[in-house]
Structure 1
Amino acid sequence: MKRTGNTIFITGGGSGIGRALAHRWHDEGNRVIVAGRRREALEETVAGRSGMAYYELDVSDPDAIRSVAGRLTTDHPGLNVLVNCAGISGLEDPTTTRDLSRTSDIVETNLLGPIRMTDALVDHLKGQPDAAILVVSSGTGFVPYPGAATYSASKAAIHSYTLSLRALLKGATQVIEIIPPMVATDLLDGLTASPLSVPLDKFADDVMAQLTGQPEADEIIVEEVEPFRFAERDGKMREIVASMIADD
Structure 2
Amino acid sequence: MDITNRTVFIAGATSGIGLELARRFAAAGSSVVVGGRRADLLDRLAAEGFGTVAIDVTDQDSVGRARDTILRTHPDLDTIMTMSGVGMPEDLRDPAHFGAARQMIDTNLLGTIRVIDAFTPHLVRRGAGTVITVTSGIGFLPFPLMPTYAASKAAVHAYSEALRAQLDGTGIEVSELVPPAVATTPEQARLNPRALDLAEFATEVMDLLQADPTPHEILVKGVLMHRWAERDGTYADLVAQRSQALAMLPSRQ
Q: TM-score range by the shorter chain?
A: over 0.9
Quote the offset at 1:33 in angstroms: 0.1
Give the Cα separation in 2 of the matches to 1:93 and 1:226.
28
Q: Which residue of 1 aligns with 2:88?
A: 90
- Give the share of equivalent positions with the same residue, in percent: 37
Quote the offset at 1:181 in angstroms: 0.4
Q: CA RMSD in A?
A: 1.6
Quote the offset at 1:202 in angstroms: 0.9
Quote the offset at 1:247 in angstroms: 4.4
CA distances 1:222-246 after superposition (whole Å, capped 9, x unpaired): 0010010011111221111111112
1:191 partnered with 2:173: no
Structure 1 or 2: more helix by fraction: 2
CA distances 1:106-158 after superposition (whole Å, capped 9, x unpaired): 10000000101100110101122540000111000101110000000000000
Q: Which residue of 1 aligns with 2:173?
A: 174
CA distances 1:74-111 after superposition (whole Å, capped 9, x unpaired): 22111110100110010111123224222111100000
Quote the offset at 1:216 in angstroms: 2.8
Higher deviation after alignment, 204-213 or 91-100: 91-100
Please show how residues 1-248 of structure 1 align to structure 2 within 5 Å: 1-49=1-49, 52-128=50-126, 130-172=128-170, 173-185=172-184, 191-193=188-190, 194-248=192-246
Partner amino acid, structure 1, of 2:106? E
Stretches of structure 1 lacking an aligned partner (at least 5 in a row): none
Indicate the SS of the match to 1:2. coil
Indicate the SS of the match to 2:85. coil
Indicate the SS of the match to 1:195. coil
Give the Cα separation in 2 of the matches to 1:175 and 1:54.
23
Give the Cα separation in 2 of the matches to 1:71 and 1:92.
37
State whether residues 8 and 33 of structure 1, in contact with CA within 8 Å, keep that contact through their aligned partners in structure 2. Answer: yes
Give the Cα separation in 1 of the matches to 2:198 and 2:221.
14
Quote the offset at 1:215 in angstroms: 4.0
Indicate the SS of the match to 2:218. strand
Q: What is the count of residue pairs matched by the alignment?
A: 244
Quote the offset at 1:15 in angstroms: 0.5
Higher deviation after alignment, 94-103 or 220-229: 94-103
Partner amino acid, structure 1, of 2:227? R
State whether residues 63 and 114 of structure 2, in contact with CA within 8 Å, keep that contact through their aligned partners in structure 1. Answer: yes
Indicate the SS of the match to 2:196. coil
Give the Cα separation in 2 of the matches to 1:79 and 1:8.
6
Partner amino acid, structure 2, of 1:236? T
Give the Cα separation in 2 of the matches to 1:211 and 1:83.
12
Give the Cα separation in 1 of the matches to 2:229 and 2:29.
37
Stretches of structure 2 lacking an aligned partner (at least 5 in a row): 247-253
Q: Summarize the Cα distance change of 1:152–1:190 in structure 2 as closer, same or farther, 3 Å threshold.
A: farther
TM-score, structure 1 as length reference: 0.93
